[in-house]
Structure 1
Amino acid sequence: MADDTIRSADVIEADHARVLHSWSAQGSLPPFEIAGGSGCELWDHDGNRYLDFSSQLVFTNMGHGHPRIVEAIAQQAKQLATIAPATANATRAKAARLVLERAPQGFEKVFFSNGGADANENAMRMARLVTGRDKIVSRYRSYHGNTGASIVATGDWRRSSNEYARGHVHVFGPYLYRSEFWATSVEEECERALHHLERVIQAEGPETVAGILLETIPGTAGVMMPPPGYLPGVREIADRYGIVLILDEVMAGFGRTGEWLSLDAYDVRPDLVTFAKGVNSGYVPVGGVMVDGRIAHEFDERVFPGGLTYSGHPLAAAAIVGNLEAMAEEKAVENAATIGRDHLGPALEALADKHDAVGEVRGTGVFWAVELVADRDTREPLAAAKIGAIKKACQERGVVVFPSANRIHMVPPCIVTPDEVARAVDALDAALAAL
């Protein structure tokens, strides 16, 4: 409930005066604050209520204030609030077991990190150590985090002022709507994207390439669904040249796509899988790397030269346990699949039929992007100012969305209901009409 002794304006003023916010010009921060949340709903200190169709940064997969997760954290805090990572801990061990139950067959260990960026950082480190090679191939349309190597592996604009890490090579992935390969069909796009990837590896020298790092489904870059055959094709290329395949499931994993891991929908087995966000719905910072047995055993006698003070923190581990047990018992993954197939997907496709500004709708489960254009024929991206206006219009109608470039991402918690979907899509419909 809202606290009538605190005003939203006071919170915003205090926050903006003292906090340096990420990815932002500090003089133009949005005047928005949140006091509390439950399920898919948020509220501010003035009593305004919102549906959260951003899942914040696409991580509250079980919604806000879930009692099972909150209680797990509280009980762990009472028993043992923190412990060094070298010390064995029952809650950490259980969290690892629950994560590995969702991993591909043959995965044996979990390296815990503080979030998705350092999960990718350590996965790249493992690939380099086990191959003795240096280069990492990733996509231009990607986001892998904001630590030293992860931000350089990222392909979008954010890497350009952070390029301090060595050995990174970028390629274009499949994206038929804006094909880099002059493709006219899904099959052509897939074949040419795979050819492009292999030719880059050949040109760089396969003996220099340690790993291929891909988001299974690129998230912030646009929820770009991999065409049939693409990920198995990448696996074949990796095998051909002895390259470690790392799939980044930080955003797409743990129910977001209507699967436990988004890779479950594709015939592909990576060597390493990175995760964070939905594994404990972001209640305590955590991430990690699921490690295939072959790679894990490389470090049986050899020191793994990576570590974090809070690796496998008991409170984070407890949140993982509470979150994954609740997801299974409440069938949240199944709900996400049903919502995407029967409600959110069809409703967004209907907006494409109704509004000329909608160029393409892409997604699955509770992981959708609406790509907006100024002209359907030329596919010119809608201007940033108009994307900002749509975000604001949705918020004024009580719905928080996730804008990225010329897209509105509709990414609610896995527990969202059909009625909540209808309310959110109505708000987006009205915002598009106001254009």
Structure 2
Amino acid sequence: MTDEVTGTGRRDREDAHVFYSWSAQELIHPVTIAGGEGAWFWDTDGRRYLDFASQLINLNLGHQHPALVGAIQEQAGRLATVAPSFANPVRSELARLVVERAPGGADGGLTRVFFTNGGADAVENAVRLARRHTGRQKVLAAYRSYHGNTGTAVTATGDPRRWPNEVDPGVRHFFGPYTYRSAFGAADDAEERVAALRHLREVVELEGPATIAAILLETVVGTNGVLVPPDGYLAGVRELCDEHGILYVADEVMVGFGRVGEWFAVDRWGVVPDLVVFAKGVNSGYVPLGGVIISERVAASFDHAAFPGGLTYSGHPLACAPGVASIRVFEEQGILDRVRTLGEKVIGARLRDMAARHPSVGEVRGLGFLWAIELVRDPATRERLVPFQGTAAQNAPMAQVVAAVTAGGVWPFPQVNRLHLAPPLVTSVEDLEHGLDVIDAALDVADRYVVDPSPT
């Protein structure tokens, strides 16, 4: 097939032997990236892009951060790899640093870390821990969610990527809160919180509380909408879990390590889960790394009974070294305060202004350096700019919006009818303003598709 961009066939491209994820191989035209620095990256033709996606929302400290690169280089010179059955200083140090910053602090009871290679296998092992600890098999997860592309993780995922991949019969789904498109007809966040908790309680009752090992939740739903839970919702989930001996598993893969201005997003609501899944921002993805923070009471189940799981590269030293360096950078440079302040005063303020001026913007929502612009054809009915599962022709309006953004030298994270914005946490104020200016201009494209409310 001929590449529409270059005029060459896929087999003539330099990446002809690469098989890409989540893609029809003959229909993609990947940009070839040559390098990056800070919040910017550039392709082999020298075109620069402001990375408003942080790659896959994992590049929290930006491209080529010298402290992280230096930590990898130093560790490689000392010890490049070691089996997980051995103790290792850098792995132990990262575990200590993570536990000290875990939800609940010193009294929170989250005292141990099981390292994995990324977020998906962290979810797998969190569920395995919950099932073995409770002796139960069912796991409840939200429809609007993404937990990774491995067996249980993708079955727990709520979006269409689950459909061809379901393998775990013990997973059940429920509706989480989403006030703008409420499944319960709620008028505001307070009503949505009450209705969503009532719904979850009913699902627990109908599934049988004594059969449920865990409720798995993205603290802030990421890819499926940047859905910030209403105040009190997570506390209600915690209460429901405690009532029935169910473990609360917080998926913090996308929002942990500063993305919303907290070490872990649950800290914003003062909730302490039983298990916390992390990856991405722990070392900005420089080397694959993830993990599960485990409460002492769950870990105690395996004091004299072996945990039935392990990974060859668990706690790899080349991954843990930039994790240690990252935490030090966060504290030396006040990254959490920076994200909280700029996330509200620069990103949030500008997006709310755009929403007031662009009829195609149905809602903006987010926290810190993670936001979504939801685009609609009709503000009154909230009809999406493009369908949930549209054809290429139906999705053309969104493709045009994205093209306008990238033509302006900004790389967004588009999802269905939404633009997700997740710049590196070190992005300068000047670059944030520039990226938002480009997006503001690109929204004019979406405005052309809005239903004309004037009478004919």
CA distance in 1, matches of 2:20, 2:44: 21
Give 1:323 deviation, angstroms.
1.2
Does residue 376 of the first structure (1) align with residue 379 of the second (2)? yes
Question: Match of 2:38?
Answer: 39
Question: Match of 2:334?
Answer: 331
Does residue 342 of the first structure (1) align with residue 345 of the second (2)? yes
C-alpha contact 2:114 2:294 (8 A) present in aligned 1: yes
Paired residues for 1:410-429 under 5 Å: 410-429=421-440
C-alpha contact 1:116 1:288 (8 A) present in aligned 2: yes
Question: Match of 1:29?
Answer: 28
Count of matched residue positions in the alignment of Structure 1 and Structure 2 = 428
CA distance in 2, matches of 1:242, 1:114: 29
**Partner SS for 1:145:** coil
Give 1:385 deviation, angstroms.
2.0
Paired residues for 1:58-69 under 5 Å: 58-69=57-68
Question: Match of 2:85?
Answer: 86
C-alpha contact 1:42 1:51 (8 A) present in aligned 2: yes
Question: Match of 1:295?
Answer: 298
Letter in 2 for 1:53: F
Pick the aligned partner of 1:167 from 161, 166, 170: 170
Question: Match of 2:396?
Answer: 385
Question: Match of 2:391?
Answer: none
Letter in 2 for 1:106: G
Letter in 1 for 2:147: H
Question: Match of 2:131?
Answer: 128
Question: Match of 1:52?
Answer: 51
For structure 2, list consecutive stretches of 5 or more residues without a partner in the other structure. 1-5, 387-394, 447-456
Letter in 2 for 1:338: T
Give the TM-score normalised by structure 1.
Answer: 0.96
Question: Match of 1:354?
Answer: 357
Does residue 272 of the first structure (1) align with residue 275 of the second (2)? yes
Letter in 2 for 1:392: A
Letter in 2 for 1:52: D
**Partner SS for 2:377:** strand
For structure 1, list consecutive stretches of 5 or more residues without a partner in the other structure. 1-6
CA 1:82–1:11: 2 relative to 1, 3 Å:
farther
C-alpha contact 1:12 1:33 (8 A) present in aligned 2: no
Give 1:382 deviation, angstroms.
0.9
Letter in 2 for 1:269: V
C-alpha contact 1:252 1:261 (8 A) present in aligned 2: yes
CA 1:290–1:432: 2 relative to 1, 3 Å:
same
Question: Match of 2:185?
Answer: 182
Question: Match of 2:18?
Answer: 19
Give 1:10 deviation, angstroms.
12
Of 423-432 and 121-130, the range deviating more from structure 2: 423-432
**Partner SS for 2:16:** helix
CA deviations 1:52-94 (Å, max 9, x no partner) are 0000110000000000000000011111100100011001001
CA 1:15–1:237: 2 relative to 1, 3 Å:
farther
CA distance in 1, matches of 2:304, 2:399: 53
Letter in 2 for 1:191: V
CA distance in 2, matches of 1:427, 1:31: 22
CA distance in 2, matches of 1:12, 1:116: 32
Moved over 4 A (4+): 9-13
Question: Match of 1:399?
Answer: 410
CA distance in 1, matches of 2:340, 2:431: 15
CA distance in 2, matches of 1:138, 1:385: 32
Give 1:12 deviation, angstroms.
10
Give 1:14 deviation, angstroms.
3.8
CA distance in 2, matches of 1:387, 1:332: 33
Alpha-carbon RMSD: 1.5
CA distance in 2, matches of 1:72, 1:13: 38
Give the TM-score normalised by structure 2.
Answer: 0.92
Letter in 2 for 1:433: D
Question: Match of 2:228?
Answer: 225
C-alpha contact 2:401 2:442 (8 A) present in aligned 1: yes
Give 1:433 deviation, angstroms.
1.1
Question: Match of 2:3?
Answer: none
CA 1:315–1:31: 2 relative to 1, 3 Å:
closer
CA distance in 2, matches of 1:401, 1:185: 29
